[in-house]
Amino acid sequence: MGKFSDKILDMFSKQDLNKSSCLKRGIYVLISILTIAIVTIFAVVHTVNQSNENNDLNKFLQLVSKEYESFTPNVTLKTESDFKEYVLSATQLSDGELYINDKFNMEGFVSNKLLVDNGFRLNFFDLAVLLNYHWQDDVLRVERVDFECSDLKAQWSALICVDLSSIISELEIKKDTFPNKIYVSFKAKVNLQKTWNMAAVESYDLQVNRLTGEENDLAVSELCRLLEINNKKLLEYAIYPFVFTKSQAQIWGKNFSFYDDCTFEYN
């Protein structure tokens, strides 16, 4: 009787051209139908996701439009003026100037060309000023910092003003339906006995304006989506003041110490 494979080959060899053409056309039609189905599924999923994002954004804008008790800044023009006076008295740039037409030379400050006096210190107010220099002309600005250290653990927080109108300026939303700015409180607790990396972060928390509970959770989630920030980034932010100040010691060729008043000293 012959092998089964031989029977299959024999069956195909006996088909006429018309039947073969019909088979090919059937395959092409099937592929076309599958392609259309796949594209349709992706389009539906995209539409649903887009709809969900729009719903979340609308809820977010409603939440941040609620009235809330105002915040009191402690990072002011005087804070910047004090930082400028101090840094010019305690450091020197071997190549160039730290301030050019009142614009801070951040690249020079963090380089090995900065000559730092023994006993030079940075605190969280100084770091806030440096961050604002870095964020100059950006959508973020630090307006308040608080900090304390006890039992070899440091707790610090930053109140950040977010230019909301700039973030969603490209979206077709009327500007009078949401506030131009919102405030985000970022708080972190760091275990100083551990290596200063993300594993040393015991906790971090974000609060938008004065929102609490599920309303705050939704607002934080949507803001992180708009700013393209994930949990890993937030962990990096929580430990960054400690990572930055310690790494600068190596760049400046100095020994490094951290004190209970939350200051970083270089000698």
- Tokens 């305690």 correspond to 90
Q: Which residues pair with 235 in a beta bridge?
A: none
Residue 186 near residue 237, CB atoms below 8 Å? yes
What does the pLDDT read at residue 127? 97
Residue 29 has a pLDDT of: 61
pLDDT tens-digit profile of 13-34? 454 545 556 655 666 666 656 6
CA-nearest of 112, 134, 137, 155 to 254 is 112
Predicted confidence at residue 13, as pLDDT, reads 46
CA dist., res. 93 & res. 109, Å (int)? 7
Q: Specify whether the CB–CB gap between 177 and 205 falls below 8 A.
A: no
- Residue 205 sits at φ, ψ, to 5 deg, of -155, 145
Tokens of 57: 């954004």
**Domain segments of the chain as ranges:** 4-64, 77-266
pTM tops 0.85: no
- The tens digit of pLDDT for each residue in 136-187 reads 878 899 999 999 999 999 999 999 999 998 888 766 676 667 899 999 999 9
For 10-18, the CB contacts below 8 A with 24+ separation are none
What confidence score (pLDDT) does residue 70 get?
A: 95
Per-position pLDDT tens, the chain of length 267: 444 444 434 444 454 545 556 655 666 666 656 666 555 555 444 444 444 456 789 999 999 999 999 999 999 999 999 999 999 999 999 989 999 888 999 999 999 999 999 999 999 999 999 999 999 878 899 999 999 999 999 999 999 999 998 888 766 676 667 899 999 999 999 999 999 999 999 999 999 999 999 999 999 999 999 999 999 999 999 999 999 999 999 999 999 999 999 999 999
